[in-house]
Structure 1
Amino acid sequence: MRLHARIGIGFGIPQAGQLFVTPQGTFGNNVDLRTQRNTGVDLGAELTLGDDLKAEVTGYQEWFRNELVSQSAGVNLQTYTSNVPRSRHRGIEIGLDWRPLPAALPGARVQASYSYNDQYYTDFRERLTAGPTSVVLDRAGNAIPGVIPTFVNARVGYDHPAGGLAGLGAFGEVTYRQRYFIDNANLLRVPGITLVNLNLHYDPLRGDGWWSRLSLFASVQNLFDRTYIGSASIVSDGIAAGSGVPNGEAVLRSATGSIYAGQPRTVYAGVKSRF
Structure 2
Amino acid sequence: MSSLEILAVLAAGLGGGILTSTVGVASLLTFPVLVAVGLPPVVANASNTVGMTPGGLSGSFGYRRELREHPRLTAVVTATCAAGAALGATLLLALPAGVFESVVPWLILATCLLVGATPRISRWLRSRQGADAAPRTRPSPVTTAFCTATGVYGGYFGAGSGVMMLAVLGLGTDVELRVLNGLKTLAVTASNVVATVIFLLVAELDWLAVGLLAAGSVVGGYAGAHIGRHLPATLLRFLIVAAGILAFALLL
Whether TM-score is above 0.5 comes out as no
Q: Which of the pair is proportionally richer in strand?
A: 1
Q: Which structure has greater helix proportion?
A: 2
Normalised by the shorter chain, which TM-score bucket?
A: under 0.3
Q: Over alpha carbons, which structure has the higher Rg?
A: 1
* TM, length-normalised to structure 2: 0.21
TM-score, normalised with respect to structure 1:
0.19
Q: Which has the higher contact order (CA 8 A, sep 6+)?
A: 2
